[in-house]
């Protein structure tokens, strides 16, 4: 039912954990099952230099979180924003149709973390402007 890649990421997930001084944090809940995922990013010179995740969800959600962190690591913010729900599932060589909703969480949480990063950065910029 699951591809080898899904099983491999589920058994050996990459980038699990939390970044204490993250530059962006995104948490999303899955409306279908109520599972939760949080992604933390650390950004330097517009590049995602570190990314970690915490997922309270099923095996497919854990495998997709792990995959999305690998896909986003080292990418620019713009490139990372182009990672879609479908890309993540494709990279994992597909997911059973009943599990596709699980893969949505990973891309959504990544996008939420980037939005949070942009908001924080935008706020800083305005403060600087106000000081000038």
Q: Which residues are catalytic?
A: 33, 102
* CB nearer ligand FES, residue 32 or residue 76: 32
Number of residues forming the site for ligand FES (CB under 6 A)? 9
List strand residue ranges (DSSP E) for 32-128, in order. Answer: 36-44, 47-56
Q: Measured from the CB of residue 35, what is the shortest distance to ligand FES in angstroms?
A: 3
Q: Which two tokens stand for residue 99?
A: 């599990």
Dig out the tokens for 96 from the structure: 């059973």
Per-residue contact flags (x/-) with ligand FES for residues 29 to 68, judged by CB under 6 A: -x--x-x---------------------xx-xx-------
Residues 6+ apart with CB under 8 A from 8: none
For ligand FES, the closer of residues 58 and 81 by Cβ is 58
β partners of residue 43? 48
| Binding span for ligand FES by CB under 6 A among 28-36, 42-50, 70-78, 112-120 | 28-36
Strand-by-strand arrangement of the 47-56 sheet = 24-29, 36-44, 47-56
Residues 38 and 109: beta-carbon distance below 8 Å: yes
Residues that bind ligand FES (CB under 6 A): 30, 33, 35, 57-58, 60-61, 102, 105
């Amino acid at each position: 039912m699951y591809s080898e890649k899904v099983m491999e990421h589920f058994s050996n997930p990459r980038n699990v954990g939390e970044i204490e001084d993250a530059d962006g944090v995104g948490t999303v809940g899955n409306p279908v099952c109520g599972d939760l995922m949080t992604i933390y990013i650390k950004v330097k010179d517009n590049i995602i230099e570190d990314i970690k995740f915490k997922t309270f969800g099923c095996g497919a959600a854990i495998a997709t979180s792990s995959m999305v962190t690998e896909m986003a690591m080292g990418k620019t913010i713009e490139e990372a924003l182009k990672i879609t729900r479908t890309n993540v599932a494709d990279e994992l060589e597909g997911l059973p149709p009943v599990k596709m909703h699980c893969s949505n969480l990973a891309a959504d949480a990544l996008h939420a973390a980037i939005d949070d990063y942009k908001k924080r950065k935008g706020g800083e910029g305005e403060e600087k402007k106000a000081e000038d």
